Structure 1
Amino acid sequence: MTSFVLTPLTATLGVRVTGVDMAALAGPDPHGETVAALRDLVLRHKVVLLPDQVLDADGHVAVARRFGDVTPGSAVFPGMDPAHPEIRVFDSRRWLGRQDMWHTDMPYMPTPTSLSVLYVRIGSPGSGPLRWASTEAAYDRLDERTRRRIRDLRAVHHTPDLDRFVRAFGPGEWDGPPVTEVRPVDHPVVRRHPETGRLGLYVNPWSTRSVVGLDARAGTRLLERLFSVLTAPAYQCVVSPEPGSLLLTDTRATLHHADHVDGALRIVHRVSVAGTRPVGPDGGAP
């Protein structure tokens, strides 16, 4: 604890932490005080960067387990290998590994993830940065009239293009029954964080298709306005993908984007921590 050195990445989002060896958390006797401190930093800063870490695949999964139950690497894609189904590999040489659109993890499932534990395996010079945006800061920037308008709205999330991967790889797995197709699911437009109670926007340009109760034109106009606030460059946290960097991120309160640079290699591994069904401002069941 006393060896932690904290350096804010921006005034509103992200912190760099040195003085902690994450491999020690993968051992049989982890430091519970360290885990609690890191969890608190994730809740406060949303993005926690821990540079110069050395972890193998087993250690990566073990570290993620310190923060909760881990999920399969994806609901529709196979994991890294049969021994590590929890690891999703993002390789910039492949279209599926680029992630060059603003999104959050698994919003097309009824119970999206809560945290992502990202480990940069390879980041060649000139490979594009990783970006995060705070959904809570975006909500705070809205005028009161807009907040009242969207308070009780729900939005439909759907990624039908993913069905072809279910057909190619076979049924996926997520929080219970097999995933044989990706069906539309609706979540609150304004989400209450289950641990901090803070309110944030829970929409994104990748998966959010429409707003329940609004016609297509009105819904599109509203979503485009919210997307523009969410992705404003002035409120982003930007991280260079240095090999050995471990990132703990709160997927309930952030969007992320991986810039793509042709010819530059970046390989990032992700292990996700299970979450709960999103709830609206009043905190009640949908």
Structure 2
Amino acid sequence: MTELVRHLTLDTLTLTPLTPTIGAEVGGIDLSQPATPSQVRAIRQALLDWKVLFFRDQDIDTDQHLAFARNFGELEVHPFAPQKPGYPEVLAITHNRENRGRENTWHSDVTWRLEPSLGSILRAIELPPVGGDTLFADMYAAYEGLCDEVKARVDDAVAIHDFAHFRTGMRKRGMTEEQIEDFNARYPMVEHPVIRTHPETGRRCIYVNAAFTQHIVGWDADESAAMLKHLYAQAAIPEYQCRFRWEPGSIAFWDNRASQHYAASDYWPAVRRMERVTIVGDRPR
């Protein structure tokens, strides 16, 4: 890999790619200070280019986390996940001896929404002594790696997405069927294209995931299951991935429209505490 590829400069920022197509560490910015318009433009372009950006040694609080995220759009409130007290836009994600990590499935966030997120910004609060890395997959590359026959079959297909595993959790917590029906009415199952066109880059990418996709509309159940299994497996190909080792002060910002991620849950019974802020997106096309 040439020096040019290993260390790039964009505006006042430095970018150090982790792999040839996905993941870059960003230097030359202090996120405790308000980002300038030129920095925001540079970060947005870098996000489009690299799908996930990593910031090291950032000593920021919750308000600064929110302020940085608001540079990129409106923030969403997750209806099911635990929130940080006093901050409805902040997901408080804690795993420990009593609560094992469960985000260890390749997925794109909140695809059960009619307008899934543009992206998320995740901040490390407390980390295990070892383990707890997050992996990211380039879903452009995953699509481009499909054979022409598979592309022809899925290019115009649509699939149903649902918050099924959250519903299961509601029942385990004793929520009544009437309460669950209220959530069903507010967040009905939605249809999204199996292959999405990114609204900013115009590139095509796989947009089904094992966490939320239920089936391909109009397909035989067995054919749908077989195709989805094949598409899900593309995210697990190492050539399409990068892996991030968290440290105190680390932050990750990923494009939810062009990537999937997997939080390795290999650190139990140690504690891993993170806070996530999510930016509202658009309806997939």
User: By the TM > 0.5 criterion, same fold?
Assistant: yes
The answer as to whether partners of 1:166 and 1:180 remain within 8 angstroms in 2 is no
Q: Against the structure 1 CA distance between its residues 254 and 136, is the aligned structure 2 distance closer, same or farther, given a 3 Å change threshold?
A: same
What secondary structure is seen at the aligned counterpart in 2 of 1:21?
Answer: coil
What secondary structure is seen at the aligned counterpart in 2 of 1:227?
Answer: helix
- Residues 225-264 of structure 1 aligned to structure 2 (within 5 Å): 225-261=230-266, 262-264=268-270
Q: Could you give the per-residue CA deviations for residues 92-136 of structure 1, whole angstroms, max 9, x where no partner exists?
A: 226475411111110111110001111111122212210111111
Q: Could you give the per-residue CA deviations for residues 40-99 of structure 1, whole angstroms, max 9, x where no partner exists?
A: 100100010010001111111111001111111x12234211x21000011122647541
- Displacement of 1:219 after TM fit? 0.4
CA distance in 1, matches of 2:131, 2:137: 20
Matching of residue 154 in structure 1 with residue 163 in structure 2:
no
Gaps of 5+ in 1: 171-177, 280-286
The answer as to whether partners of 1:16 and 1:48 remain within 8 angstroms in 2 is yes
Q: In structure 1, what residue type is equivalent to 2:91?
A: R
The answer as to whether partners of 2:117 and 2:257 remain within 8 angstroms in 1 is yes
Matching of residue 76 in structure 1 with residue 48 in structure 2:
no
Q: Against the structure 1 CA distance between its residues 121 and 191, is the aligned structure 2 distance closer, same or farther, given a 3 Å change threshold?
A: same
2:37 pairs, out of 24, 32, 36, with 32
2:70 pairs, out of 58, 65, 79, with 65
Give the match for residue 3 of structure 2: none
Give the match for residue 50 of structure 2: 45
CA distance in 1, matches of 2:95, 2:50: 27
Bigger Cα displacement from structure 2, 179-188 vs 113-122: 179-188
Q: Against the structure 1 CA distance between its residues 39 and 169, is the aligned structure 2 distance closer, same or farther, given a 3 Å change threshold?
A: farther
Matching of residue 269 in structure 1 with residue 278 in structure 2:
no
**TM-score if structure 1 supplies the norm length?**
0.87
What secondary structure is seen at the aligned counterpart in 1 of 2:87?
Answer: coil
Give the match for residue 110 of structure 1: 114
Q: In structure 1, what residue type is equivalent to 2:160?
A: V
What secondary structure is seen at the aligned counterpart in 1 of 2:88?
Answer: coil
CA distance in 2, matches of 1:86, 1:255: 21
CA distance in 1, matches of 2:196, 2:254: 17
2:25 pairs, out of 6, 16, 19, with 16
Bigger Cα displacement from structure 2, 208-217 vs 96-105: 96-105
Q: Against the structure 1 CA distance between its residues 97 and 271, is the aligned structure 2 distance closer, same or farther, given a 3 Å change threshold?
A: farther
**TM-score if structure 2 supplies the norm length?**
0.87
- Displacement of 1:145 after TM fit? 1.8
Q: In structure 2, what residue type is equivalent to 1:62?
A: A
Give the match for residue 121 of structure 1: 125
- Displacement of 1:149 after TM fit? 1.0
- How many residue pairs end up in the alignment? 267
Q: Could you give the per-residue CA deviations for residues 126-163 of structure 1, whole angstroms, max 9, x where no partner exists?
A: 12210111111100111122111111100111232323
Bigger Cα displacement from structure 2, 262-271 vs 36-45: 262-271
CA distance in 1, matches of 2:23, 2:29: 17
CA distance in 2, matches of 1:31, 1:101: 36
What secondary structure is seen at the aligned counterpart in 2 of 1:85?
Answer: strand
The answer as to whether partners of 1:90 and 1:98 remain within 8 angstroms in 2 is no
1:85 pairs, out of 85, 88, 104, with 88
CA distance in 2, matches of 1:92, 1:272: 19
Q: Against the structure 1 CA distance between its residues 169 and 89, is the aligned structure 2 distance closer, same or farther, given a 3 Å change threshold?
A: farther
What secondary structure is seen at the aligned counterpart in 1 of 2:67?
Answer: helix
Give the CA RMSD over aligned residues. Answer: 2.1
2:214 pairs, out of 188, 200, 209, with 209
CA distance in 2, matches of 1:180, 1:166: 12
Gaps of 5+ in 2: 1-9, 176-181
CA distance in 2, matches of 1:97, 1:62: 28
> What percent of counterpart residues are identical?
34
The answer as to whether partners of 2:124 and 2:275 remain within 8 angstroms in 1 is yes
What secondary structure is seen at the aligned counterpart in 2 of 1:34?
Answer: helix
Matching of residue 138 in structure 1 with residue 142 in structure 2:
yes
CA distance in 1, matches of 2:99, 2:218: 34
The answer as to whether partners of 1:77 and 1:166 remain within 8 angstroms in 2 is no
- Displacement of 1:11 after TM fit? 1.1
- Displacement of 1:234 after TM fit? 2.7
Q: In structure 1, what residue type is equivalent to 2:269?
A: G
